[in-house]
Structure 1
Amino acid sequence: MSRHIVDGLGKSKVTIENGKVTNVTEPKISYCPLFDHHRNIKEITPEAVKENMEFRIKDFGMCTKNRQLRMKDYLNFGISEIICTLFKEDIIDCAVMVCEGCGTVLIQEAELAQGVGGRVSGLVETSPIPEVIEGIGTDNVLNIETAEINQIDGIKKAIRNGYKNIAVTIALAKDIEEINRLKETYPNVNIYVFAVHTTGISKEDARELFDGSDVITACASKHIREIGDEESLKTVGQSIPIYSKTKNGKKFLELRLKHIGGEKPKKENPDLPNPLI
């Protein structure tokens, strides 16, 4: 059976089995400005979540063998868009990301990074889809038998494969300690950390993720916003801010701004996710 669990809009857990949405938990967020703007979703309910997931399955084959893997820029500013720009600027040669049907994957090109990372919310669990694995390339999938999600082992695989400038997306604060060890063990390898899907994380995890990342997205996390508003070297966006902790992170945000023609005028009262958790 093809079975996937997605951390969907509104911080709801969505189970998709054999291309069908079979379960949606109650959302913890009732409003998200991104989904309002792009999908006209004014209130996030289980019915709205199910409908949105069914739209994704039909539109680009999410969690099915028909998955479209390459994509042009979707948002002006998101983590996958920043990684996409880093490929175009030849700053990175590999991105360790997560794709449904594959688990942890190694990506080497901009449109694939955008297609994999820009279309799917946080992936909690997945199972192998042979057609998607083939599309990514079996050598680029951490475990073709289990579709395991393990970003640390993904970095190790990228290093074994000879990559020297690696971006990695993470959602777990516990990964930071091991990433720091890898940086010490392989001083000739640059590992750039992008923290994603931060809604609902604890204050302690927010602190660890922020300190260990180059770039981190606020999502609907009140703790990340509190830290980022005080400490970010460069912040882009108001409704869903993206923060930079390091000089590299600041440079990455500025490169993306240059790529899209600069920052938009700031709103006096931007729409925010509700509630922040």
Structure 2
Amino acid sequence: MVEDRHVIETLGKVEVVIENGEITSVGSSEMTYCPMFHAMHGVDELNEEFIRKNINFRIEDFGMCTPDRVVEMDDAVTVGISEILKTNMEKGNIDCVVGACDGAGTLLMTNPRVVQGVGGRVSGLISTTPIPEVIKKLEERDSVILDPKTAELNQLEGLKLALDKGYKNIAITILPSPMVKDIRDYPVDDDVNIYIFVAHTTGIEPDKVGMLFDNADIVTACASKAISEYADKYEPYYYGVKVPIFCASEDGRRLLDIRLEKIGKPLSTNVYPRNKDDAPHKLL
């Protein structure tokens, strides 16, 4: 039997293993609080019972890590990475998103609803194995899978594939890693734009934060103390207080503001200090 095993990092940097549609392992974490879940659902403590309940909801609701995976979706929240990408793709500012999907691995997406569906409600994907039904759904919606046989996760190779396909305005979603710099340093033609979106930063080491801001365009705060302290020191443009989205470049600010303008929200700001009464607590 082909292995069916998916590892995601979620809800306070906890590793959860899902095999054959069932949770088989829930790791531990120093983190017991998530500002997003507190803001949206009033959750004060991320214990194992809540984590299992939340992940089971995702499995049942949109088939996460199963053949029933929903791959198209409307906006999940007001402003998140997938919403920024979806809006900018609809407006023609981005023609390809290099993302990652459970059951498929790294993939190229050109359909805005697929961009939202793949990224809208999934946490950090650490590893995954191929699910033929998911791959078929994605390919039917014009997505290209980097390696359908292995569901490899490799965003640099995804960038190379996007360039081979001739895309010029390429957005890449990625977890914090040295590969962020590798992607930024990868040689491209003058008419090619690469936009890097870094998500799931909870628990990142302080000495890695500068590299992200030096090379990315958008960096999400998640529940990262190091990201929050870096922002307070260097004062990048941002949107949101409880779970800020930080602009690491002018391109990042432009793409974020296009989403904010569409939904009638105030544009990004660099007013500091941020309102500490509203900011997340118990950061990691």
Moved more, 224-233 or 206-215: 224-233
Partner of 1:134: 136
Cα distance, 1:32 vs structure 2? 1.7
Please point out which of 153, 156, 169 is paired with 1:152.
156
Q: Report the CA distance between 1:254 and its aligned residue.
A: 1.1
Q: Larger deviation: 202-211 or 225-234? A: 225-234
> What letter corresponds to residue 270 of structure 1 in structure 2?
D
Alignment of 1:145-224 (within 5 A): 145-182=149-186, 184-224=187-227
Q: Residue 30 in 1 paired to residue 38 in 2?
A: no
Distance 1:193 1:243, change over 3 A: same
Distance in 1 (CA, whole Å) between partners of 2:232 and 2:97 is 27
TM-score, with length taken from structure 1: 0.94
Matched pairs, number? 274
Q: Are residues 1:269 and 2:282 paired?
A: no
Is the 8 Å Cα contact of residues 231 and 245 (structure 1) preserved in structure 2? no
Q: How much has 1:133 moved relative to structure 2?
A: 0.6
Aligned with 1:75 (options 74, 77, 83)? 77
- Hey, which bits of structure 1, 4+ residues long, moved more than 6 A? none
Matched AA of 1:72: D
- 1:189 deviation in Å? 1.1
- TM-score normalised per structure 2: 0.91
For 2:25, give the aligned amino acid. N
Aligned mates of 2:246, 2:119 — CA distance in 1: 18
- Tell me, yes or no, if structure 1 residue 105 matches structure 2 residue 110: no
- The residue aligned with 1:227 is 230
SS at match of 1:95: strand
- Does the Cα contact within 8 Å between 2:39 and 2:242 map onto a contact in 1? no
| Deviation at residue 175 of structure 1 after TM alignment | 1.1
Cα offset, 1:276, TM superposition: 1.2
Q: Which moved more, 1:207-216 or 1:226-235?
A: 226-235
CA contact (8 A) 1:85 1:256 kept: yes
Distance 2:98 2:234 in 1: 26
Q: Deviations over 1:208-240 (max 9, x none)?
A: 111111111011111111222333442101011
Aligned sequence identity (%): 42
Q: For residue 250 of structure 1, report the CA deviation from its aligned partner.
A: 1.1
**CA positional deviation for 1:38:** 3.6
Specify the SS of the correspondent of 2:85.
helix
Instruction: Return the offset for 1:39.
Output: 4.0
2:35/2:223 contact within 8 Å kept: no
For the residue of structure 2 that corresponds to 1:96, the secondary structure is: strand
Segment of structure 1 superposing worse, 169-178 or 206-215: 169-178
AA aligned to 2:151 is A
2:270 is aligned to none
- Report what 1:96 is aligned to: 98
Q: Is the 8 A contact 1:171 1:197 kept in 2?
A: yes
Encode CA deviations 1:116-144: one digit per residue, 9 max, x unaligned.
Answer: 11111000010000011111118611010
Give secondary structure in 1 for the equivalent of 2:241. Answer: coil
What runs of 5+ residues in structure 1 fail to find an aligned partner?
none
Residue deviations 1:168-219, cap 9 Å, x none?
A: 011133113321222x343321100111111111112111111111111011
In the alignment, the residues of structure 2 paired with residue 236 and residue 178 of structure 1 have an alpha-carbon distance, to the nearest angstrom, of 27
Judged with a 3 Å threshold, the aligned counterparts in structure 2 of structure 1 residues 232 and 271 are, in CA distance, closer, same or farther, namely closer
Structure 1 equivalent of residue 7 of structure 2: 5
